Amino acid sequence: MMIVNEDKCIGCKKCIYDCPTSTIIYNERKKAYIENERCINCGHCIAICPTAAVYSDSLDMSEVEPYNEEKFSVNPENLLNFIKFRRSTRHFQDKPLEKETIERILQAGRYTESSTNSQDVSYIVVSEELDKVSDQIYRVLKKKGEHILANLSPETEHLKKYATLWTTMYDAYLDDKAKNDRLFFHAPAVVFVTAGQEINGALASATIELMANACGVGCCYCGFALVALNDQPELLKELGVQEGKKIIACLVMGYPSVKYQRTVPRNPLSVLWK
């Protein structure tokens, strides 16, 4: 729960004004008081208090850092250029991705905002069992592709190209797994982002991908894995997806074996001003 140290509280009311759920009141002693029954533990009160009077008795307060402009500010032009320069990586070095590096990358997801501060995002990192998971996904995609091709209709015609690709991918993979991996591209690790609410998993995935690039790690979203897994309860359970959650993103990670030299053009900004 969130607690106010009244000896430190100066009654400035900044936490009261900033609380997104209006759970902080001004008590008879002219101090802030948190009604924890409605508190979502977002930490706004901890962050905004000028005297560090607010703390949590259930969270690790040693993680709290005071603002430091040199450490926490980002030049907006550099940030935009960093985003412009990122590429989806599909060629990786034959080199393991260290556990410490993956954990550092996932910290970005941990600190990403979530709806009502639910923090319902969790991660499954597959490296040692990657061949086994690849085989399972390839087989599911092959089966889906064959079913679509055998039952084409005007409603499913748009899926024909994917169905054909899934079947040919599987055949090529069986022919030579060492060369023909069109799913995970021989990457050393795959991160499955799971969440109860899709928006939370999507937000975390985006910041993780940027953090990966900042760490010199290439990253690529694998949508085919989601197609194969999210309607396969037995595979989700085997993979370790918690009940009530589903896979929101599959991020293929590894050290890039290619080096890009410039940004690429994009369509013009589409925005409606009203």
Phi, psi angle pair for 45, to nearest 5°: -65, -40
Question: What is the residue whose two structure tokens read 């499955």?
Answer: 192
254: β partners: 218
Residue the block writes with tokens 């309607």: 231
Bridge-based pairing state of the strands 246-254 and 189-195: antiparallel
67 HSE (CA, 13 A, CB side): 10
Token pair belonging to 248? 């929101």
Instruction: Kindly report the pTM of this predicted structure.
Output: 0.93
Domains of the chain: 2-63 (3.30.70.20), 82-264 (3.40.109.10)
Within 10 Å of residue 271's Cβ, how many Cβ atoms? 5
Per-residue pLDDT tens over the stretch 54-89: 999 999 999 999 999 999 999 999 999 999 999 999
DSSP state of 257: S
| DSSP state, residue 61 | G
Chunked into runs of 10 residues, the chain (274 residues) has average pLDDT values of 96 96 94 94 96 95 95 95 96 96 98 96 97 94 94 92 94 90 96 98 98 97 94 92 95 97 97 98
Condensed to tens digits (0 to 9), the pLDDT of residues 119-156 reads 999 999 999 999 999 999 999 999 999 999 999 999 98
